Amino acid sequence: MESNNTIWIIIRRMRIPFLVIIVTFSISILGMTLIPGMDDQGHPYKMTFFDAFYFVSYMASTIGFGEAPYTFTYPQRMWVSACIYLTVIGWFYGIGAIVALVQDKRLARELDIARFRKKIRELREPFTIVLGYNNITHQIIDWLNKEGIRVVVVDKDAEKVETLDLENFIPEVPSLAADVTHPETLKMAGIHKKNCQAIVALFEDDVKNTKIALLCKLLNKRVKLVIKSTTQTQSEHLHNLGVRYIEDPFDFVSNRIYLALTSPSLWLLEMWIFGHILRMRHREVLPKGKFIICGYGRMGHALERALKKAGIPYAYVDIKSTIYKEEKQSAVFGDGEDYQTLLDAGVKEAAAIIAATKDDLINLTILATARKINPEIYTIGRENTLDDLSIFKSARINRVYILERILAEFTYLFIARPLAYRFVRLLHSRDENWGRALVDRMHSTLGENPLHFEITIDEEHAYALSRELAAGRKIRLGALCRSRADRSRQLPLIVLLLQKNENELELLPDDEFPLKNGMKLLIAAIDESKNDFEYIVNNYYELEYVIGEE
Amino acid sequence: MNTEKVISGFFFILAMTINFGFVYGDPANLEYHSGYELFAAIVINLIATVLKLGDKTQLGSVLLATSLVADIQLIASATVWAFAVYVMQGMNLESTVAVVSLAAGAFIANIVSVTLFIGDTLKSKR
């Protein structure tokens, strides 16, 4: 407990003030009891200890009720004059020093840390440690909280932590201002705890992320890591460390564009998992034809890979936002020279243009300029921060990729909906026909706005079912998906994914699939059928009825 | 020689001896027990307590605990005295014995404290 030292140092520093108060008080009290006085009848008397203690207490603290119990004699007054200076100075010094120590910044920080530790100790639910507080993690915290997953936040910046405290998240989010690359900090945040599920590090700086990943791996092998990496080399480092889940926002966007170009149904399924409705809007259909990529950084490269893989012709305009701003002294794209650049790249005959620079304003103006030249062009913009959502919305851009939001969505899915996340990953290895068939099936049974949920077959989530299975009864998947009102009718739900154990997954399991305890299901349903299903697996009578004679 | 040890050792032992000085004598007879001695015992004990503050070792905590016990007993003893004199009808046998026996309890706490202190010193100097 290295950090507790400060408290001891501060207590130690309180010794002198305490001693000063004790010594000055005792000298004054002793003097008062020794010096003879005179009572109201003129008899000599000596103050008792209680009288002296009472008098000195209010004298020293400058309350001053007057001379008690009788008016003082001159020898007493002389002693009191000496005592006033002795005790008042001692009292002011002592109390002043103690108050200063109590207000000491280091002490306040120690108390903060102690409070944080206590909160972490008392966390009983599964929780996720989020390193760094910003727009992305704010969103993630919001979603995780709704899902009942507790979050712990550590950020180096004390001001950000204060902003977080003002947010009043419910349930409470314990937060601490500390250096996240320090192992002690991670330990304080509870990395060793059994219910610590995941650690999220999405810093701008890839090297910092890798460093954190290394630390976390060394401190706790079991914990899931969500680490952002936008460069090949860092990703390789992370792979070598055994980090299975690496978030590269450029890669996510590139994959999505590839999917949208080659297989709209799979794209639709992926978007549906993230909350899109299960229907493609007209303006979401990407046109076939030549693409122009503006900005040839990490994002541009990722897009190039996607277009190449999909076999789409493309051209790119190499605009670096920082260099552009330096040369032109403005962040607005679209003077004569820029016009020419776009014309040279072939905007007139291109089907779509992607503005992918690091600067939001440049992206907006690129798209506006392109639209002026070719009003029919399909515009795709990269939005870097979640702050100015409204500008992009009002600019009527056909499709906007908000990198921060995509990061937040994937992180949330990975932590809170592991099966849905794996489903999305599996989609990428399927083809359009498979996707089309699934979408059609979902449309016909569930309509255009189905929801998805995950359920684990165990006593907590499926009481009756898990008890029956434990008792050795054989129950197949199809037997459960029947209506509670009439078991000859099907319940409108589709089991998308079944996880047999950590490594074995069954995509779209058929009705004959035998269930076992510990399996997890990802189910597409509508509100009523979700409630019905949960009712069936938890309630013996319902379960008996739908299974029937089987 | 460690100055800090000399000073703290001095006060720990002085707290015990003065405490003993007050308790010594017929517990039913107040004439054997001087108020000044009780005052000195309280002051010295408070000083000893403050000197024990801020020691984060196991022993330091136990020493502080014994000192706090002694303080409470002595202050209780003085309070009983003042209460008996000013609020009740003066000192009687019961209050006299209470004053002395409370101080005697503090004395035992002080013995424990000094024993621990000496024990620790012997252990470390071996």
Query: pLDDT digit of tens for each residue in chain A (550 aa)?
Result: 445 677 777 788 888 999 999 999 999 999 999 999 898 888 999 899 999 999 999 998 888 888 888 889 999 999 999 999 999 899 899 889 888 888 888 888 888 888 999 999 999 888 999 999 988 888 889 889 888 889 999 999 889 888 888 888 888 899 999 998 899 999 999 999 989 989 999 888 888 998 999 999 889 888 888 888 888 888 888 888 878 777 888 888 888 889 888 898 999 999 999 988 888 888 788 888 899 998 888 888 888 889 988 888 888 888 887 787 778 777 778 788 888 888 888 888 889 999 988 888 888 888 888 888 888 899 998 887 766 667 777 778 888 888 888 888 898 998 888 899 989 988 888 889 999 999 999 999 998 889 999 999 998 889 999 998 999 888 888 888 888 888 888 889 899 999 988 788 888 888 888 898 989 999 999 998 999 999 999 998 988 888 886 6
What does the DSSP assignment read for A21-69? HHHHHHHHHHHHHHSEEE-TTS-EEE--HHHHHHHHHHHHTT----S-S
Question: Taking Cα atoms as reference points, which of A226, A86, A25 lies closest to residue A144?
Answer: A226
CB contact under 8 A, A33 and B46: no
> Rounded distance, CA B70 to CA B22, Å?
13
Residue A433: Cβ within 10 Å count? 10
Averaged confidence pLDDT in chain A: 87
Nearest to A18 among B35, B36, B50 (CB): B50
> Rounded distance, CA A212 to CA A225, Å?
10
What domains are defined for chain A?
Answer: 2-102 (1.10.287), 124-247 (3.40.50.720), 253-416 (3.40.50.720), 450-547 (3.30.70.1450)
Q: Which residue of B has its CA nearest to A7?
A: B54
Nearest to B53 among A11, A22, A26 (CB): A11
CB contact under 8 A, B78 and A49: yes
Strand partners, A390: none
Task: Pull the structure tokens for residue A463.
Answer: 């009481």
Q: pLDDT for A496-528, tens place per residue?
A: 999 988 788 888 888 888 898 989 999 999 998
Q: What is the pLDDT of residue B11?
A: 94
CB contact under 8 A, A14 and B46: no
Residue A354: Cβ within 10 Å count? 27
Is B53 part of the contact surface with chain A (CB cutoff 8 Å)? yes
B-chain CB neighbours of A49 within 8 Å are 35, 38-39, 78, 82
A-chain CB neighbours of B36 within 8 Å are 30, 33
> Does pLDDT of B20 surpass 90?
yes
Answer for the pair A428, A507: CB distance below 8 angstroms, yes or no: no
Is B43 part of the contact surface with chain A (CB cutoff 8 Å)? yes
Interface mutation vs chain A, best among B56, B71, B80, B87, most A CBs within 10 Å: B56
Q: What is the DSSP letter of A4?
A: G
Q: What is the pLDDT of residue A550?
A: 60
Task: Pull the structure tokens for residue A440.
Answer: 């059609």
Whole-number Cα distances in Å, A391 to A219, A386, A400, A461 = 44, 11, 11, 44
Q: What is the DSSP letter of A451?
A: E
- Which 73-102 residues of chain B touch chain A by CB within 8 A? 78, 82, 85-86
Q: What is the pLDDT of residue A387?
A: 66
Residue A359: Cβ within 10 Å count? 21
SS3 content of chain A, % helix, strand, coil (to 5): 55, 15, 30
**Phi/psi of residue A409, nearest 5 degrees:** -65, -45
> Does pLDDT of B77 surpass 90?
yes
- Which 20-49 residues of chain A touch chain B by CB within 8 A? 22-23, 26, 29-30, 33, 48-49
B-chain CB neighbours of A19 within 8 Å are 47, 50-51
Q: How far is B38 from chain A, CA to nearest CA, in Å?
A: 10
With tokens 């419910």, the residue in question is: A170
CB contact under 8 A, A8 and B56: yes
CB contact under 8 A, A12 and B54: yes
Q: How far is B125 from chain A, CA to nearest CA, in Å?
A: 24
Per the model's pLDDT, the better-predicted residue between B10 and A504 turns out to be B10
Q: What is the pLDDT of residue A386?
A: 65
Task: Pull the structure tokens for residue A505.
Answer: 């997954």
B-chain CB neighbours of A9 within 8 Å are 54
Per the model's pLDDT, the better-predicted residue between A243 and B108 turns out to be B108
Q: How far is A66 from chain B, CA to nearest CA, in Å?
A: 20
Question: Taking Cα atoms as reference points, which of A114, A146, A80, A125 lies closest to residue A3?
Answer: A114
Q: Which helix (H) or strand (E) holds A521?
A: strand A520-525
Interface mutation vs chain A, best among B4, B45, B46, most A CBs within 10 Å: B46
Strand partners, A476: A514
CB contact under 8 A, B47 and A23: yes
